[in-house]
Amino acid sequence: MIRRNTIQKNLILNTVHDLKKHATADDIYNIITQKQPSVSKATVYRNLNILAEEGKIRKIEVAGGPDFFDYICEKHFHVRCIKCGQIFDVELEPFPELKPSTRNSSSMQFLDYDILFKGICSDCQETN
């Protein structure tokens, strides 16, 4: 059982890496079932979240939409096309001097931040 789980997990990890783009769990599931029809959607979803927690892939949470998964694990930012919903990488240095504080007196332990830009991708610009 453990062996089978490891094979499935590696298959899911390799699929995210081979895609070389930002994909939703549904996208990844559709590709995996072409190779391994027996893998369930729940297995794909569960393993994607485990891999993200382990830092092997990166999960991008998008408000009002499905999560995306990214093979690039280093800190980087994204832009989302408002027309087609695709996610692209953004070239932007992280801000080492960012020092947030809360407005009220409650103390907050800040852990991380994400920036999601909005834009219109080149494909969608052409179809305007």
Partnered with residue 87 across adjacent β-strands are 80
Residue nearer to Zn ion on the CB measure, 46 or 59 = 59
Residue nearer to Zn ion on the CB measure, 39 or 67 = 67
Rounded to whole angstroms, how far apart are CA atoms 57 and 34? Answer: 21
User: How many other CB atoms sit within 10 Å of the CB of residue 22?
Assistant: 22
| Residues 47 and 31: beta-carbon distance below 8 Å | no
Does 50 participate in binding Zn ion (rule CB under 5 A)?
no
Residues between 54 and 73 that touch Zn ion (CB under 5 A): 70, 72
- Nearest distance in Å: CB 12, Zn ion: 18
Maximum pairwise Cα distance, the chain? 54
* Residue 120, amino acid: I
Per-residue mark of binding to Zn ion, 80-109 (x: CB under 5 A): -x-xx----x--------------------
Residues that bind Zn ion (CB under 5 A): 70, 72, 81, 83-84, 89, 121, 124
